[in-house]
């Protein structure tokens, strides 16, 4: 399904990013994963096999994102699929929000995503796919979730705009929001949130719920493949709810 496809998975050396990378590797993808430490990267590459490489990168820093994608271009010549996994950041209620907490939320979930995709655009082409992995934010506003809701809303708006920007070069972009409380992606548990399997909101769909991460991996693999060529600018919800 993905043989000889060059795929970059950010934060792919641990957690759900690594799980997704392992699923992609089983389909023959050539992988590049990023991580926070060299030991973490070495361990991940050993698990992913011969066609995997790793890179240290803090993608909240624009220079790191640009350096990473320049390396991908130098070693592979192109990028077919970009999977961006957002980072876990604690939320705070109004009255307790600090400048540091605010910056961390938007650096991890907006700035890092935007500049990584921007850096990747020049080496992606027709048939390419961008998949953004994040946690699902329930429709109801709970106490202390203001920043998380703001970041997710901003990301959804950006994706809508990017469907046009990336569509010009034949690249699709979609969101995959995972609802499992067991994954490091997102600290908010959505397991007890009784959402409908189909949301009437535009461009939002949901797969049948599963209690394992396998669903996340399968949907990410689907979005990375040409099988999902008809999906662009949508948010898919997957995992335990």
Convert the pLDDT of each residue in 122-152 to its tens digit. Answer: 999 999 999 999 877 655 556 667 888 888 8
97-105's contacts with Cβ under 8 Å and 24+ in sequence apart are: 97/146, 97/147, 101/147, 102/147, 105/147, 105/148, 105/151
Task: Classify residue 88: in a domain, yes or no.
Answer: yes
Between 231 and 237, name the one with better pLDDT. 231
Mean pLDDT to the nearest integer, 10-23: 94
Task: Classify residue 1: in a domain, yes or no.
Answer: no
Instruction: Retrieve residue 54's tokens.
Output: 């790793």
Task: Classify residue 229: in a domain, yes or no.
Answer: yes
What 3-state DSSP class applies to 211? coil
pLDDT tier for residue 88 given thresholds of 50, 70 and 90: low
Task: Classify residue 52: in a domain, yes or no.
Answer: yes
Instruction: Retrieve residue 47's tokens.
Output: 């698990």
Mean pLDDT to the nearest integer, 8-23: 94
Total structural domains in the chain? Answer: 1
Distance of CA 51 to the CA centre of its chain: 21
pLDDT at 157 over 60: yes
Cα gap 191→108, rounded to integer Å? 23
Average pLDDT along the chain: 83
For the chain, strand residue ranges (E) read: 6-9, 30-35, 52-56, 81-85, 129-135, 172-178, 204-206, 235-238
Distance of CA 218 to the CA centre of its chain: 14
What 3-state DSSP class applies to 55? strand
Q: Which domain holds residue 68?
A: 6-238
pLDDT at 16 over 80: yes
Helices 112-121, 146-167: inter-axial angle, 10-degree rounding: 10
Task: Classify residue 120: in a domain, yes or no.
Answer: yes
Q: What is the CATH number of the domain that holds 23?
A: 3.40.50.720
């Amino acid at each position: 399904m993905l043989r000889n496809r060059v795929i970059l998975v950010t934060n792919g050396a641990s957690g759900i990013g690594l799980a997704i990378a392992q699923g992609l590797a089983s389909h023959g993808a050539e992988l590049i994963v990023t991580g926070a430490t060299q030991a973490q990267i070495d361990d991940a590459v050993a698990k992913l096999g011969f066609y995997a490489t790793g890179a240290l990168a803090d993608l909240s820093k624009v220079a790191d994102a640009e350096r990473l994608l320049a390396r991908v271009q130098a070693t592979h010549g192109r990028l077919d699929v970009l999977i961006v996994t957002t980072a876990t950041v604690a939320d705070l209620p109004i009255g307790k929000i600090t400048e540091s907490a605010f910056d961390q939320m938007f650096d991890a979930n907006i700035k890092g995503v935007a500049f990584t995709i921007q850096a990747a655009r020049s080496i992606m082409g027709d048939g390419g796919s961008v998949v953004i992995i994040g946690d699902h934010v329930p429709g109801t506003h709970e106490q202390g979730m203001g920043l998380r809701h703001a970041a997710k809303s901003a990301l959804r708006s950006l994706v809508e705009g990017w469907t046009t920007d990336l569509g010009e070069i034949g690249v699709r972009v979609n969101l995959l929001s995972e609802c499992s409380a067991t994954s490091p992606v997102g600290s908010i548990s959505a397991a007890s949130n009784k959402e409908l399997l189909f949301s009437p909101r535009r461009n939002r769909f949901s797969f049948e719920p599963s209690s394992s991460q396998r669903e996340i991996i399968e949907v990410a693999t689907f979005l990375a493949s040409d099988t999902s060529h008809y999906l662009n600018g949508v948010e898919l919800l997957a995992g335990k709810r």
